[in-house]
Structure formats: structure tokens, C-alpha cells
Amino acid sequence: MKKATNVAQVKPNEKEVACDGGGGAMGHPMIYLPFGKKSQVDCYYCGKRFEKVLSK
Ligand SMILES: [Zn+2]
């Protein structure tokens, strides 16, 4: 299991994010991760975390 060390920041008005693992050998099929009511979501393929940024 890989640790979720990668964190991507997204705009607070985003409803979902797309992740493909960065492509290449470490990549995975493009998937969409809906935030729902949460302010963060983890990709279940690569463990990358997407966090909404409330400032800016
Ligand atoms: Zn991913």
C-alpha cells in the first residue's frame, strides 16, 4: 500500500476532480471523484488527496 503523500489543492467551487495518477507507468485510468459534502477526497487508485482551498 502506498501512503497518501500527494495532495492537490482545488478551488472550493469544484464539484468533482479528475485523476489519472499523473500518467505514465504510475498512472491509472482517468476517473472522476465527486466531493459530495466533503472538503477533501482521496483517489482510490493512487491515493492522491484533493483538498478544497477556502482562501484566495
Ligand atoms: Zn489517482
Residue 27 confidence (pLDDT): 92
Instruction: Return d(Cα 41, Cα 24) in angstroms, integer.
Output: 22
Give residue 54 CA to ligand 1 midpoint distance, Å: 22
Ligand 1 (ion): residues with CB under 5 Å are 19, 21, 43, 45-46, 48
pLDDT tens-digit series, residues 2-40: 554 689 999 999 999 999 998 788 799 999 999 999 999
**Measured in angstroms, how far is the CA atom of residue 20 from the centroid of ligand 1?**
5
Q: Separation of 26 CA from ligand 1 center, angstroms?
A: 9
What is the separation, in whole angstroms, between the first and last Cα of the chain? Answer: 34
C-alpha span between 56 and 2 (Å, rounded): 31
E strands, 4-56, are: 7-10, 16-19, 31-34, 40-42, 49-52
Other C-beta atoms closer than 10 Å to the C-beta of 19 total 23
Domain ranges (residues) in the chain: 7-52
Cell numbers of 16, please?
A: 468533482
Q: Which CATH code for domain 7-52?
A: 2.60.260
